[in-house]
Amino acid sequence: MKMLVVLLLLLAVSNAVEIDGEDDEKPCDNKLTLEPRPHSVSILEFGAVGDGKTLNTLAFQNAIFYLKSFADKGGAQLYVPPGRWLTGSFNLTSHLTLFLEKDAVILGSQDPSHWEIVEPLPSYGRGIELPGRRYRSLINGYMLHDVVITGDNGTINGQGSVWWDWFSSQSLNYSRPHLVEFVMSKYVVVSNLTFVNAPAYNIHPVYCSNVHVLNISVSAPPDSPHTVGIVPDSSDTVCIEDCIIGMGYDAIALKSGWDEYGIAYGRPTTNVHIRHVTLQSATGSSLALGSEMSGGISNVHVEQVRLHNSISGIQFRTTKGRGGYIKDIIISDVEVENIYMAFGASGQFGSHPDDKYDPNALPVLDHITLQDVVGTNITIAGCFTGIEESPFTSFCLSNISLSLNSASPTTWDCSYVSGSSESVFPEPCSDLNTSYSNPSSAHISLLTGNGKAVVL
């Protein structure tokens, strides 16, 4: 009976993954073609012990090496039963489903020697936190196709407290690892799982296409330093849907490389669809775009989201020397509650990887639409601080009602920004108070799963 339940779950979630969609669909509207894996093994068959103490890195590595032989036979599943499975970092393979049963917990080792040291990402030129190399993430995919990490609400626990202490005391030699990272991979699904206590990021698709993150819960304590939930990075055709995320820093952050390295790599984050999510950030932003955005961020559609108990609700971040752009963004149907600053856009945000950046590489922010927003207990409605040499343009605000608390007499603060508004309360600053232009003028072009473009 147990195996029948597991089989039904596998059929219901995502196994072999292909994405089919009509030309007018956004990434989360595309349907997954679900095909069960014809082969399955349990991690127990490779000597793993789920006592929370035995190191199982070799068991995971051997199991995945074995399952690699089924790639041309319809792929395979690695089944993780209930237990606490301690491991260091390991790599996945194509045409694989990693399935965590209910009460199965993959534990990241707290011994840094169990995490491999790897080269920095080329679009960053160095570790994001420290110059030089970085720790490899706990679960990794490199140049893979058709990979699923899913389960019956199993858990991936990074046991990040030791990493947070090392980061705060500046005792690390390399940048912290993430929980899950896919690099240069296509058709990736992460679903039906709980992620807790990542050392840094939880899910980091970078240089990827067709990524679906569905029905997951992600959390870390409010004082966990710079922990981030989901980070689409120089990736396209991304869906994030039905997720609950509460982090120490950002809940969802879109990125695309850092200064001269991101400009040279030149891969944008584009065609991103986020909907039906609840986001919370203790010290950062519920939803952030940037500040590492030198490859560009465009064609983003966010809808039906709840942002709560955060320093910042929605924030666009950049600075001189970044280059790149953030453009053609539509954010709609938003509920914000207990937020210090509902909206922010800053041209003086973030540091530089080194002194080689070009200060004349000016970023562009253009065609940003915020509409259908209701907020309660907000301190500052918005702060838009652009760049004198490259002002932010075409911010369109429509049908926004924010109930402010009495903590600050300032409702809006604007400089070097232009735009239009309609039905906005409290009334925005004059730079954003010209006659309203329809958000359809943003001409957002969303790529569907078959690569065709649709202009909205």
pLDDT tens for 145-188 read 999 999 999 999 999 999 999 999 999 999 999 999 999 999 99
As beta bridge partners, residue 412 has 382
Of 5-9, 54-58, 96-100, 426-430, the range with the lowest mean pLDDT is: 5-9
Question: What pLDDT does residue 16 have?
Answer: 56
Alpha-carbon distance of 361 to 202, in angstroms, equals 31
Say how far apart CA 37 and CA 244 lie, in whole Å: 28
Cβ atoms of 290 and 316 within 8 Å: the answer is yes
Residues present in the chain in total:
456
Between 368 and 439, residue with greater pLDDT: 368
Note if the pTM is more than 0.85: yes
**Choice among 1-10, 18-27, 193-202, 358-367 with the minimum mean pLDDT:** 1-10
pLDDT above 90: residue 355:
yes
- Residue 184 belongs to what domain range? 2-455
Spatial distance between the Cα atoms of 256 and 188, rounded to a whole number of angstroms: 19
CATH number at residue 14: 2.160.20.10
Give tens-digit pLDDT for 312-334. Answer: 999 999 999 999 999 999 999 99
Dihedral through CA 57, CA 58, CA 59, CA 64, nearest 10? 90
Overall number of domains in the chain: 1
**Across the chain, what does the average pLDDT equal?**
91
Q: Over 50: is that where the pLDDT of 441 sits?
A: no
Share of the chain above pLDDT 90, in %: 86
99-118 pLDDT, tens digit per residue, is: 999 999 999 999 999 999 99
